[in-house]
Amino acid sequence: MKKHWVALLAASSLLLPVTASSEDSAKLLTQAAGSFRIIDEAMTSAIAGEIEPSTPAGTAQAAAGQAAANKPDDVEMAALYYYAEQKQDERVAAEAARLRLKFPQFEMPQDLYLPQSARGIDETVLWQLYDKSDFTGIDAEIIRRKTETPDWAPTADFTEKLTRRKQRVLMTEAAKDNKWADVIQAGGSIDAVTETEADLLWLLIDAYAQTGMKQPLADVYRGILLREGDKRLPDAVLVTTLQKAIRDFPATEVQAAMQKLAVTPALQSGLQPVAFDLMRKTVADFNADEKQTAPLSDDQLAPLKAAVPPKAGDMALLGWYYLKIKQPAVSAQWFSKALVIQADASNAKGLYLSLAAQNLEEEANKVAATYLQDLSGDPEFLMNALSLRFAKPDMAVIDEKIVASYSTTILQTLNADHAEILAWYAYNSKQYEASSAWFQKAVDWKVAPARVKGLALSYLRLSQKPEFAALQERYGVTYPDIWDEIREASPPKGRAATAVIKPRGVIQANYFRNFQAKRYAACINDLADLRSRGQLTPDAAQIGGWCYLGLGRLAEARAAFAEGLAAGGQVQADAAYGTALTLLRGRLTDDAEAIIRAYPLNVERDREIRVEIYFQRARATFDRKQYQKTLDALNARASLVAEPADLSQLRGWAYYHLGNKQVAKQVFQRLNDHLSDAGVRRGLVATSQTDTRR
Name the pLDDT band for 78 (thresholds 50, 70, 90). Answer: confident
Q: Can you give the pLDDT at residue 55? A: 39
Residue 499 pLDDT more than 60? yes
Q: What is the DSSP string of 457-470?
A: HHHHHTT-HHHHHH
Q: Can you give the pLDDT at residue 51? A: 35
Nearest to 321 by CA among 292, 363, 352, 359: 292
By CB atoms closer than 10 A (0-12, 13-18, 19+), residue 415 is: buried
pLDDT tens track for 508-544: 888 898 898 899 998 999 899 888 888 888 888 999 9
CB burial readout 296-334, b (16+ within 10 A) else e: eeeeebeebeeeeeeebbbbbbbbbbbbbeeebebbbbb
Q: Can you give the pLDDT at residue 368? A: 87
Q: Can you give the pLDDT at residue 475? A: 93
Name the 3-class secondary structure at 349. helix
The most confident of the ranges 83-87, 500-504, 544-548 is 544-548
Mean pLDDT of 160-177: 91
Q: Can you give the pLDDT at residue 11? A: 35
| Whole-angstrom distance, CA of residue 115 vs CA of residue 148 | 13
| Whole-angstrom distance, CA of residue 463 vs CA of residue 79 | 114
Nearest to 425 by CA among 506, 504, 501: 501
Nearest to 441 by CA among 467, 425, 418: 418
| Whole-angstrom distance, CA of residue 192 vs CA of residue 123 | 32
Q: Can you give the pLDDT at residue 69? A: 59
Q: Can you give the pLDDT at residue 18? A: 37
Residue 692 pLDDT more than 70? no
| Whole-angstrom distance, CA of residue 52 vs CA of residue 379 | 66
Q: Can you give the pLDDT at residue 25? A: 29
Nearest to 514 by CA among 529, 526, 496: 526
Provide the mean pLDDT of the chain.
Answer: 82
Read off the DSSP letter of residue 506: T
Torsion region of 154: left, alpha or beta (phi above 0 gives left; psi -120 to 50 gives alpha): beta
Q: Can you give the pLDDT at residue 58? A: 45
Q: Can you give the pLDDT at residue 299? A: 84
The H or E element that residue 440 is part of is helix 432-445
pLDDT tens track for 333-349: 999 999 999 989 999 99
Phi and psi at 485, nearest 5°, equal -65, -40
pLDDT tens track for 575-604: 999 999 999 998 899 999 999 999 989 999
Entry pTM: 0.54
Q: Can you give the pLDDT at residue 29? A: 25
Name the pLDDT band for 378 (thresholds 50, 70, 90). Answer: confident
Residue 14 pLDDT more than 50? no
Count other Cβ atoms within 10 Å, centred on residue 338: 26
| Whole-angstrom distance, CA of residue 11 vs CA of residue 74 | 10
| Whole-angstrom distance, CA of residue 81 vs CA of residue 320 | 77
Do residues 631 and 638 touch, judged by C-beta distance below 8 A?
A: no
pLDDT tens track for 445-498: 889 999 999 999 999 999 999 999 999 999 999 999 899 899 888 888 877 788
